[in-house]
Amino acid sequence: MKALFKILLNAIPRPWLISLSYYLRPVLSMAYRGHRFTDPIDGKNYRTFLPYGYAKVRPNVLSPGTLSLERHRLCWLYLKNKTSFFSQTSRVLHFAPEQAFYHRFKALPNLSYTTTDLNSPLADVTADITDLPFTNDNFDVIICNHVLEHIPNDLDALRELYRVLAPNGMAILQVPYDPSRRETFQDDRITDRKERTKIFGQYDHVRVYGMDYFDRVRSVGFEVKAIDLTAEMSAQEVDRYRLAPGELIPVAYKLLT
């Protein structure tokens, strides 16, 4: 069964997978229920999570109930435990909305919630992140997770995110990054899918971020904090939630000057 789900989750085009997941999740949730691991997003316990990955498959990382990965659960825990996201009235812009979050965020009465993407069936607004159809200072919170690595000119995208974020607003800008790499690597001459997968980790990624990512975000005007939430948790908690130890959350702010 695991092998079949692995094939489905990696072979089906993403828009189809988003639609299909509505039917998959209840089945997976029942099949994998148990007591060993917990998904903090739905609060359910499972005997194991599913394997997931593109170039390299990671075991025990995909939650059966929400189809969340390590980064989604980390983001959820940060929003829940370290912010007033779930209680404060906010205008939220969510890029490429994840299935694990979409219905939960949409149901929150305190949020004015807008989703955007070029391809996702969950997007309210079809838009290019480098040329957004929103006015200046329009959103209190922006969530843009694992999007920028797909964008050829990520600095243009970051400038647009800064422009539409309200003063004193917060943006969570997670990306895949290599903690051992000092500088980001990008070579637009690499267009072959297999070569991109080998170098960037996925065929539709255009760069591999290094630790200078935080400076790239700062370069457009943001103040940035690199939050290591797992450092505040026990090893048992990190394992129970199936998080990536030491993964940093880039939390950016548009501060009043």
Question: Six-digit token pair at 127?
Answer: 């838009």
pLDDT surpasses 50 at 18: no
The pLDDT score that the predictor gives to residue 166 is 98
Look-up: residue for tokens 């065929």? 203
Domain boundary among 18, 36, 68: 68
The pLDDT score that the predictor gives to residue 257 is 64
Percent of the chain whose pLDDT exceeds 70: 88
52 and 113 fall within a common domain: no
pLDDT surpasses 70 at 2: no
Look-up: residue for tokens 């299909």? 20
198 and 97 fall within a common domain: yes
242 and 143 fall within a common domain: yes
Query: Is the Cα dihedral 5, 68, 230, 241 positive or negative?
Result: negative
* Per-residue pLDDT reduced to its tens digit, 41-60: 999 999 999 988 877 889 99
64 and 119 fall within a common domain: no
76 and 62 fall within a common domain: no
94 and 210 fall within a common domain: yes
98 and 205 fall within a common domain: yes
Average pLDDT, the chain: 91
pLDDT surpasses 90 at 254: yes
176 and 244 fall within a common domain: yes
Instruction: Give the domain CATH number at 220.
Output: 3.40.50.150
* Per-residue pLDDT reduced to its tens digit, 62-86: 999 998 999 999 999 999 999 999 9
* Per-residue pLDDT reduced to its tens digit, 29-38: 677 788 999 9
The pLDDT score that the predictor gives to residue 241 is 98
Q: What is the mean pLDDT of residues 185-193?
A: 94
Task: Provide the number of structural domains found in the chain.
Answer: 2
Higher pLDDT pick, 5 / 92? 92
* Structural contact between residues 61 and 75, judged by C-beta atoms closer than 8 angstroms: no
Q: What is the mean pLDDT of residues 226-241?
A: 98
* Per-residue pLDDT reduced to its tens digit, 139-154: 999 999 999 999 999 9
78 and 64 fall within a common domain: no
Domain boundary among 68, 95, 110: 68
The pLDDT score that the predictor gives to residue 52 is 86
The pLDDT score that the predictor gives to residue 125 is 98
- The residue range of the domain holding 21 is 2-68
Q: How far apart are the first and last CA of the chain?
A: 56
- Rounded to whole angstroms, the Cα distance separating 134 from 215 reads 25
Range in 1-15, 72-86, 140-154, 231-245 the model is least confident about: 1-15
- Rounded to whole angstroms, the Cα distance separating 154 from 10 reads 25
60 and 85 fall within a common domain: no
Q: For the range 31-38, what are the long-range contacts, defined as Cβ-Cβ under 8 Å and sequence gap of 24 or more?
A: 31/1, 31/64, 32/64, 33/64, 36/240, 37/240, 37/241, 37/242, 38/240, 38/241
Percent of the chain whose pLDDT exceeds 90: 77
Using the CB atoms, write b or e for 238-256: b if 16+ within 10 Å: bebbbbeeebbbbbbbbee
100 and 147 fall within a common domain: yes
pLDDT surpasses 70 at 14: no
43 and 82 fall within a common domain: no
pLDDT surpasses 90 at 156: yes
The pLDDT score that the predictor gives to residue 54 is 78
Which residues lie across from 50 on neighbouring strands? Answer: 62
Alpha helices by DSSP H, listed for the chain, are 2-11, 14-31, 70-82, 99-106, 154-164, 193-200, 213-218, 235-240
Domain boundary among 25, 42, 68: 68
pLDDT surpasses 60 at 231: yes
Question: CA–CA distance from 54 to each of 7, 51, 169, 201 (Å)?
Answer: 11, 10, 33, 7
The pLDDT score that the predictor gives to residue 211 is 98
